[in-house]
Structure formats: structure tokens, C-alpha cells
Amino acid sequence: MFKERFEELKHSGKLPSPSSVGMRILMLTQDEECDLDDVVEALQVDPALTGRVIRLATSVHHGGAKLTSVRSAAIRVGLRAVCNTALSFTVVSGNRTGKCEGFDYDEFWSCALATAVAAETIGRELRISVGPEAFTLGLLVGIGKLALASVHPEQYAGVLARARGKGSSALIREEEEELFINHREVAAALLEDWGLPEHFSEVALYFDGRTSDGEFACPQTKGLLGVLNVAEVMARVLVSDPERQPYLWPGLKRLCKGLSISASQMCELFDTVAEAWKEWGDLLHVPTSCVISAREIEEISKPGSNPKAAKRKGLRILAVDDDPVSLRLLVALLKRDGHEVMTAGNGKEALALYLEHGAQVVITDWMMPEMDGVMLCRQLRKTEEGRKLYILILTGRTEQDRIVEAFEVGVDDHIG
């Protein structure tokens, strides 16, 4: 049971947590009878936090006129904005650095902040009934990774190194093999330990791809997961290098379609989130990148219309093989020629990795457990972006007589 393992982590005394003021604010955000005076009283004991709230209220976005009291600042920006600022500042400021060499703390908080802003914006602009906790969950839903990096910095650095470029399912597997608990379980247990509502933990447990065997225990979970999954992918587009953004864009469009968000709505949402993310980053001293507009990403993500990608020396390739020796050899040859390579051990992992990160070329073995190369090709061709892929399948003697089957499902070429 992961909660027993979580208790061991807790006893280390190294788990991340908000400051006492932050915890008080966090509790107030869950109290339906909370009013402005309660929040102001909590804020006033922390001068640094008070300064952040006043700075937010005097920004151009909120009117620009100077203010001197936290109460007048809170009145100007509203209770929700004050609570979001307070929670973000107290959680982020106390966990900005650590000893885990493989963990990018700035990128983690930049992505968490982008997810929070995107979740709140999507819920507000589209009037999706997810409640005010969308920002809080967006900020905290991935905190299990930070927790594992904090308690076991050396071991987690190894976990990250082995899982790099292989997607979230590979990271989960590496965490469980090394630490006997994964970051989703840690986040769920941590949010429960902080006294947050049950659906916070349920969202954390099923966030980022895990499926439920039945109905969720809490009615809020399904709606929040839908919004947060879109928000997290939008955040990854925001924090990614411009060259990688076009490969993530189709996945974001697919998720948005699932929430009945049109392409034009998605572009407007993306630009709104990007602007708000930069403002929050400035306020909290969290790094944000220079983001091109949604329309520009849309244009360069179209086939044959990606000038930045065209300048790259190599291609983005997904290599798939259940034989680790053969896979390492293939990766070495591809990287030697300047290609960017992701790897998967079977078709099921490869499909999840492609849907998460995108690729230009897939090179796959035929015979593999769980999902073979032909079935992988069939599943990839079912997606709009997967129809544009170049797929190469590696065959042995036993598959030569079945090569017609591979071409029928959409394989472009084979190597025997």
C-alpha cells in the first residue's frame, strides 16, 4: 500500500510543504465562509508576501495606481487572486532549490505555474464548472516529483536519467522499481496529509494518463482531470523550446477537441495563458520563456511549413524495440547522424510516448510483447498527425512472408 511507503517519506522530514502562512491560506481557500478580512489577517504576518500582493495590485493589468495596504490591494484584485498569489509564493519560495542534480527546479515550477494559470483560465473562459481549486491543483498536482527529489536526491537523479525521453509511463515504472512508490501516489498522499478535500488526492492519483477501473469516488474528479490534462500539455508547449513546440501542438489540439474547444478558441486561450503566465512569473521570480503566438505555432506545425524544424540537422525519431541491446545500438547510430531519439520497449509504450511528445519518424521492431510493430502502426495511423508519420518496421526471417500485412496497415518501408 503506497500510504505506508509515504509515511516513511514523511518521517524523513524532507517533504515539501507551504509555510505556516501558506498552509493557513490553503485552508482558507477551502472554506466557503472565508472572507477578505480572514485572508488579510493571515497575510499581514508575512511582509514579503504582503509586498507581492501589493505589487500584483499595482501592476498595469490591475489599474496601476499605487497602494500601501494589503487590504486595499486585496479589494482591487479580488479574493481569489490574493489566495493564488499567497499560495504560489509560499510554496514556490521555500522549494526553489535542492540537491537532486537531475531535477530542474526552475523548469518544474515554471511548468507548474503555467499549468495552474492554464487550468484556471480554461475553467473561467469556457465556463467549465471546475471551481476555484483549478489553480491550486494545477500548481500542486505534480508535487510528488519534487517530493521524491527532496527525500531521495541521488536515487531520484538516477530515476530521471533512466526515464529521460521515454515519457511518463517509463518514469512511473522507474520510480516504482527504485523507490517502491510513484510521484502520483506521493502527490495524492501529500495533499491528503495537508488536509485538502478528497477529490484533490483523487485528481493527483489519476492525473497524467492513469486510468480508473470504475467510477471516481468524487464527482468533481472527472471534470478537473479533463481541464488539468489540457492545462498540463499547454504548459509543456509554453516551457518547451520553439523547435519542439510544433510537435506538441497536435496533442494539445486533440485534448482540446475532447473538451469541445475549437481550434480558434484554443489559440485565444493559449495566448491569454501565455500573457498571464509571464505576469505570474515576474511576480514570483519564476523563469518564463519568450513564447511565440498560437497562430505562429499553428502555421509551423503544418506539414512542410516548419522553417525552424527544417534548419535542424536531424529528425525527431521514436525507436521501438523490446531487445535493449538492439535498441541501444540503433539509438547510437541515429544519434551519431544528429537525430533526436526517443525510445520505447514495446508498442504500447511507444504509442503513449508519441501521443505525449510527437515524432517525425518511427522505427519499430515487429515482434514485441503487449503491442507489436504492426499493431502500433495501425494505432498510429488512426490519429490525424499519425497519418503524416514515416514508419519503418524491422523484420526477421519469420516475418518476411507477412510483410504484405505490414504495408496494408500503413508501414512505409521495412528492413529485413
The CATH number linked to 258 is: 1.10.3210.10
Task: Please give the pLDDT value at position 221.
Answer: 87
Using an 8 Å Cβ cutoff, are 413 and 377 in contact? no
Using an 8 Å Cβ cutoff, are 144 and 185 in contact? yes
Task: Please give the pLDDT value at position 254.
Answer: 87
Per residue in 52-94, pLDDT tens? Answer: 778 777 764 555 556 667 788 778 877 777 777 877 888 888 8
Among 83, 94, 78, residue whose Cα is nearest residue 19: 94
- On whether both 253 and 164 belong to a single domain, the answer is yes
- On whether both 111 and 83 belong to a single domain, the answer is no
- On whether both 283 and 318 belong to a single domain, the answer is no
- On whether both 290 and 372 belong to a single domain, the answer is no
- Counted domains in the chain: 3
- On whether both 319 and 393 belong to a single domain, the answer is yes
Q: Which of 48, 67, 94 is the last residue of a domain?
A: 94
Q: Which three cell numbers stand for residue 257?
A: 477537441
Integer angstrom CA distances of residue 202 from 9, 19, 117, 212, 223: 20, 24, 21, 10, 12
- Structural domain span for residue 36: 17-94
Among 115, 121, 120, residue whose Cα is nearest residue 134: 120
Q: Which residues pair with 17 in a beta bridge?
A: none
Task: Please give the pLDDT value at position 312.
Answer: 47
Task: Please give the pLDDT value at position 307.
Answer: 45
Predicted structure pTM score: 0.72
A 10 A CB-CB count for 187 gives 26
Task: Please give the pLDDT value at position 209.
Answer: 57
Domain assignment present for residue 11? The answer is no
- On whether both 88 and 128 belong to a single domain, the answer is no
Burial of 273 (0-12, 13-18, 19+ CB in 10 A): buried
Q: Which three cell numbers stand for residue 320?
A: 521501438
- On whether both 378 and 319 belong to a single domain, the answer is yes
Please tell me whether residue 150 adopts helix, strand or coil conformation.
Answer: helix
- On whether both 380 and 258 belong to a single domain, the answer is no
Q: Which of 61, 94, 127 is the last residue of a domain?
A: 94
Domain assignment present for residue 1? The answer is no
Among 171, 285, 273, residue whose Cα is nearest residue 231: 273
Task: Please give the pLDDT value at position 311.
Answer: 44
Task: Please give the pLDDT value at position 273.
Answer: 94
**Angle between helices 153-163 and 143-151 in degrees, nearest 10:** 130
Q: Which residues of the chain register pLDDT less than 70?
A: 1, 59-68, 129-132, 209-214, 290, 303-313, 397-401, 416
Task: Please give the pLDDT value at position 20.
Answer: 82
Integer angstrom CA distances of residue 108 from 11, 36, 145, 271, 337: 24, 31, 9, 21, 31
Place of cell 525552424: 308
Using an 8 Å Cβ cutoff, are 366 and 395 in contact? yes
Per residue in 291-331, pLDDT tens? Answer: 788 988 888 877 655 544 444 457 889 999 998 888 888 98
Domain assignment present for residue 305? The answer is no
- On whether both 102 and 80 belong to a single domain, the answer is no
Distance CA 5, CA 155 (A): 16
**Angle between helices 70-77 and 79-93 in degrees, nearest 10:** 110
The one-letter amino acid code at 258 reads G
- On whether both 114 and 197 belong to a single domain, the answer is yes
- On whether both 236 and 357 belong to a single domain, the answer is no
- On whether both 361 and 376 belong to a single domain, the answer is yes
Distance CA 103, CA 85 (A): 25
Task: Please give the pLDDT value at position 90.
Answer: 81
